[in-house]
Structure 1
Amino acid sequence: MRRLVLIGVCVAALTAAACTPTRNTGTGGTTTAPGSGSSSAATVTTGPGGGATTAPVTAKPATKTAAGTPQGTWKVRYNWNIPSTRVGIDNPHAMPLPRLAEIHVGNHEKDGFARISFYFRDGMPSYNFNYAREVLNEGQGEPIKLEGNSFLRIQFSNARQHDDESHNSLKVKPANHIGFTRLRSYAFGGDFEGYVTYGLGIQSTPNSDHILKIRVGELTKKPDGKGGFFYVVAFDVAQN
């Protein structure tokens, strides 16, 4: 009789184990939302003599945390090249103009790049960028102070860095001295009539004509943890 009871208990335990569902999560407890990414093409307009080029835009599907919160959609708008002439990226816009709220930097040198990200509210701005001998303050016409031996000028258009009361809307930012191997510093260059300008100080190989490649990506609708969203433009500087 005792043997029959033990057999019954074992059968019940095995049945329960077979029926218990399992849930796989990705690295850091994330799961990928159903669906697959898509690729399209975006026109990138360069400066005089540069003509127009077509760069691939790779859109990745939104990911979700274990709690199911969407994390936004990432796409590359300019893929590892040297913007020796001005490159323009256009995005649809409406009022109110996107306003710059935060700036973040990240050291991804083990992956071959360093990153500076501009976080906007109310939408994704348009922007242009290029390597320049110096980056001028838009209001004064004077060079802004940057570390390094090469400089990237970034200008956001249909954008602002102030709120409706004309107060500075940039609430989170790193020190101007970034100090990464290649991405050395950044500086503000003006907020004027729908244009916001920044400069990056980049350290290329000394005593050479080597210019580091740039990649630009956008992250749409990144949750801010408070029920709202950020629209992120990220500039990556190649390590080599």
Structure 2
Amino acid sequence: MTHLRVPTIVSLAMLLAAAGCTATDPVGTGAGQRESPVVVDPGRSGPGGPDGTDGPGSGDHRVRYDWAVPSQTVVIRNDVRPPVAPRPAPPLPYLVEIEATDHVDTDPAYSRISFVFRSGFPSYEVGYQPRIVFDGTGEPVDLAGDCFLQIRFVSAQAHDAYGRMSVQRSPGPQLRLGSLRGYGFAGDYEGRVTYGLGIDPAGGPDQPPPVRVAEVGLGDRFVVAVDVGY
């Protein structure tokens, strides 16, 4: 297993295919034809998350989206009731770390990018998109690969009470882990934190790889793990 963790903060964005890798526009982007998202409501597994949020308890693992191709936006809901922590902590779950790992000896083989939050699990939206753009400006995000997967965290933030970036550790933007070629930041705006993944499918852009999304509670770390098939 290759484990990448670099103490630098990097801009990221969300993803989908350029030519054959097609999908609908995520809610609110205006990039394409809108389609009703697939909504996954919260379901408890174990004792639940901290006050103000739903989700697995410490040490628990819960798959929220299991090995499928999100050709339309999938909305995964957690119950976030701000403020989720007393001051001076931010009022919403906040992103503190990004990790990237390779799992080549599993069946199926996959690459994983993990988003580590404090104070609880946010809700989030996952789906392939024709392009990834910055929230607020609509400018395209530069990503390697032929397909682009967007991950938008809702009721979340990536900054502290002073407006400083809260991400303390992250890998470089070029990953080169299986079909996962890189990632990029696409916005931290009005309670939404957006990232994109650049993917180079082995079968070409018309065959985007399946994706799995899981939540893991590790003490004060609330991990949303996005697995991308080889």
Which TM-score applies when normalising by structure 2? 0.72
Distance in 1 (CA, whole Å) between partners of 2:78 and 2:200 is 30
Partner of 1:179: 176
Question: Distance in 2 between the 1:51 and 1:153 partners?
Answer: 13
1:103 aligns with 2:90: no
Partner of 2:117: 120
**Cα deviation, residue 181, structure 1:** 2.0
* Secondary structure of residue in 2 paired with 1:76: strand
Aligned residue among 131, 155, 169 for 1:134: 131
Structure 1: distance between partners of 2:181 and 2:37: 31
Structural mapping, 1:67-86, within 5 Å: 72-86=59-73
Distance 1:189 1:53, change over 3 A: closer
CA–CA distance in structure 1, aligned partners of residues 136 and 40 of structure 2: 33
The correspondence for 1:157, drawn from 145, 154, 177, is 154
3-state secondary structure, aligned to 2:137: coil
Task: Work out the CA distance in 1 between the residues paired with 2:112 and 2:44.
Answer: 18
Letter in 2 for 1:78: Y
Query: Matched residue of 2:105: which SS?
Result: helix
For residues 132 and 42 of structure 2, what CA distance do their matches in structure 1 show? 28
Please say if residues 55 and 78 of structure 1, whose CA atoms lie closer than 8 Å, have aligned partners that are also in contact.
Answer: no
Contact 2:94 2:157 in 1 (8 A): yes
Once residues 71 and 115 of structure 1 are traced to their aligned partners in structure 2, the CA distance between those partners, rounded to angstroms, is 20
Distance 2:121 2:42 in 1: 19
Return the letter of the residue paired with 2:135. Answer: E
Q: Which has the higher strand share?
A: 1
What SS does the corresponding residue of 2:114 show, helix, strand or coil?
strand
CA distance in 2, matches of 1:88, 1:198: 15
Shift of 1:219: 0.6
**2:207 is aligned with 1:205:** no
**Cα shift at 1:205:** 2.5
Which structure has more relative contact order (CA 8 Å, sep 6+)? It is: 2
- Which residue, out of 217, 224, 227, partners 1:236? 227
TM-aligned CA deviation for residue 211 of structure 1: 1.4
Contact kept in structure 1, 2:37 and 2:73, CA below 8 Å: no
- Is 1:166 the equivalent of 2:137? no
Q: Which has the larger radius of gyration?
A: 1
- 1:88 and 2:83 correspond: no
Provide the C-alpha distance between the structure 1 equivalents of 2:171 and 2:37, rounded to a whole number of angstroms: 36
Mapped partners of 1:60, 1:238: distance in 2:
28
Letter in 1 for 2:223: V
Query: What whole-Å deviation, never above 9, does each CA across 1:73-116 have from its counterpart, x for those lacking one?
Result: 10000000010001000001121200000000110022111000
- The DSSP-based 3-state class of the residue aligned with 1:172 is coil
- Tell me the distance in 1 between the aligned counterparts of 2:42 and 2:190: 31
Asked if residue 194 in structure 1 is aligned to residue 168 in structure 2, the reply is: no
2:143 corresponds to which residue?
146
Aligned length: 181
Give the letter aligned to residue 233 of structure 1.
V
Give the corresponding residue for 1:33: none
Q: Using the alignment, how far apart are the partners of 1:172 and 1:203 within structure 2?
A: 25
Q: How large is the RMSD of aligned CA atoms in angstroms?
A: 2.6
Instruction: Kindly provide the amino acid, as one letter, of the partner of residue 190 in structure 2.
Output: E
Deviations 1:147-179 (A, max 9, x none): 111000110000000001111100010001011
Residue identity opposite 1:125 in structure 2: P
Query: How does the TM-score come out when normalised to structure 1?
Result: 0.69
Measure, in 2, the Cα distance between the counterparts of 1:169 and 1:214.
27
Secondary structure of the equivalent of 2:113? strand
